[in-house]
Chains A and B, each alone.
Chain A
Amino acid sequence: MNFVFRNKRISGLLAIVPEHERTFLEDMKNFNFSESRSIKLKEMMGYDRHRIVQEGVCVSDLGVFGLEYLFNKGLLNRDDFDALILVTQSPDHFMPPTSNIIQGRLGLKQDLLCLDINQGCAGFLIGLAEAFLLLEQESVRKVVVINADVMSRKTSTQDRNSYPLIGDAASIALLERDSRDSVIYANLKMDGTRNEALMIPAGGFRMPSTIQTAALEDVGDNNLRAKDHLRMDGSAVFNFVQVEVPPMIEALLTFAGTSMEAVDYFICHQPNRFMLQKLADKMKLPYDKMPMNVVERFGNSSGVTIPMTIAINFSKQLVETGLQVCLAGFGVGLTWSAMLMRLHAFRFCELVDFPDRASV
């Protein structure tokens, strides 16, 4: 489904990562995997380190920390935004919405629309789209979109297909109207028939958590996982990305009346380097037009890998020249989305550590 958003922009990005770091090789030692195999895998998939929250840390902790950082630095005023969107798959509770919890903990005004969106690796773009729609309202001057996940807490430490790759992180994007004559093009697609490709089977109302669902089961290849844990059909997800994402991007560029050459960077969600390289090959893109350096340093932190890529790589370029970018996310749902926009200098664009001592 195509969308067009006029005179809107992202005006700030903050990425927040837990201070606690683990290395891929350190984790792989737990899996009866020879060191030489681990090293080969590390090189191919681009896994080096990942950031994991300490026990007890929740999404609201990362969100509150990030917003307080912006308030304290004078980069954002607490009354300046009229909507707070939180995109997460790992809420603090089933109810209330975690966005309300963040509002309450920070003592934000009551005239604030708080909204949780349950989305994963495509979630950053879904959150942006929702925010751009809200900005059509006169009463909404600015929108904060928090994208955060602490999926390590729902991943079996004995599942080597998931745990060594997962990263916890959050991002805060500030969105507002743009005085320039800017146009943002977006395409969002969903396919619920493939909803089981990425799933936490137990813990909801369909299959409540019990002692049985918490029990680790042998799921093959010496991996142990419970029904309470994240389950990923890696092969199906890999295939889905390769089949669906290139034509979506191509169709978006056609819809926008532009070409691949006119795009400075294709900033995709980063599950692993191998998948991105195959995606770039398919799209006939040189690898340097598709940044891949987030997953190796921080792990796969769902949709947050996209804002993190911008914060780490492009803050200087945004000030100097601005960038034409195509963002693309793909994952749970299944959901896949792309957005074409021009990024200009932000009010803030940085990455900060969430200190271990801030753990609750």
Chain B
Amino acid sequence: MKRVTEILKGIRPEFDFTTSQDFIRDGMLDSFDMVMLVSSLDRAYSISIEGVEIIPENFKNLQTIEALLRKHGVQQ
């Protein structure tokens, strides 16, 4: 989880991602950020998040991102 938080911080350093339950609703991640996040997660964990998985629901908060990573075999 810490690594994901660091990645998020790298994309939007001005926000504290541990306090929000909905990054998109709270204006912390926009569509460009989501692309950057996917690309960073792909690289960091050597996975390829599928295009069909790039939907706001999967990037709502740390728990949903963690669930997506688990689906790709990543153990936090």
Using a CB–CB cutoff of 8 Å, the interface residues on chain A facing chain B are 37, 40-41, 44-45, 160-161, 220-221, 234-235, 238-239, 241-243, 274-275, 278-279, 281-282
B2 to chain A, nearest CB (A): 21
Q: Give Cα A322 to B74, complex, Å.
A: 44
| Count of B interface residues, CB-CB < 8 Å | 15
A-B contact pairs, 13 of them (CB 8 A): A37-B36, A40-B36, A41-B35, A44-B39, A161-B32, A221-B27, A234-B31, A235-B31, A239-B52, A239-B55, A242-B54, A274-B39, A281-B51
Q: How far is the CB of A13 from chain B (nearest CB, A)?
A: 29
**From B32, B39, B56, residue with most partner A Cβ within 10 Å:** B32
Find out whether the CB atom of B52 lies under 8 angstroms from the CB atom of A242. Answer: yes
User: How many Å from the CB of A282 to the closest CB on chain B?
Assistant: 6
- The digit string for B11-26, where 1 denotes a CB below 8 A from any CB of A, is 1000000000000000
A242 with B51: CB separation less than 8 A = yes
B52 near A44 (CB under 8 angstroms)?
no
Which chain B residues border A44 with CB–CB below 8 Å?
Answer: 35-36, 39
- A278 partner residues in chain B, CB cutoff 8 A: 48, 50-51, 54
Contacts of B6 in A (CB 8 A): none
The 4 closest A-B pairs by CB, nearest first: A242-B51, A278-B51, A221-B30, A242-B52
B-side contacts of A221, CB under 8 Å? 27, 30
Task: Say yes or no: B35 contacts A282, CB within 8 Å.
Answer: no
Interface string of B34-64 (1 = CB under 8 A from A): 0110010000000010111011100000000
Which residues on B sit within 8 Å (CB–CB) of A279? Answer: 51
- A161, B51: Cβ atoms under 8 Å? no
Q: Judging by beta carbons under 8 Å apart, are A45 and B52 in contact?
A: no
A41-B39 Cα distance, complex, nearest whole Å:
10
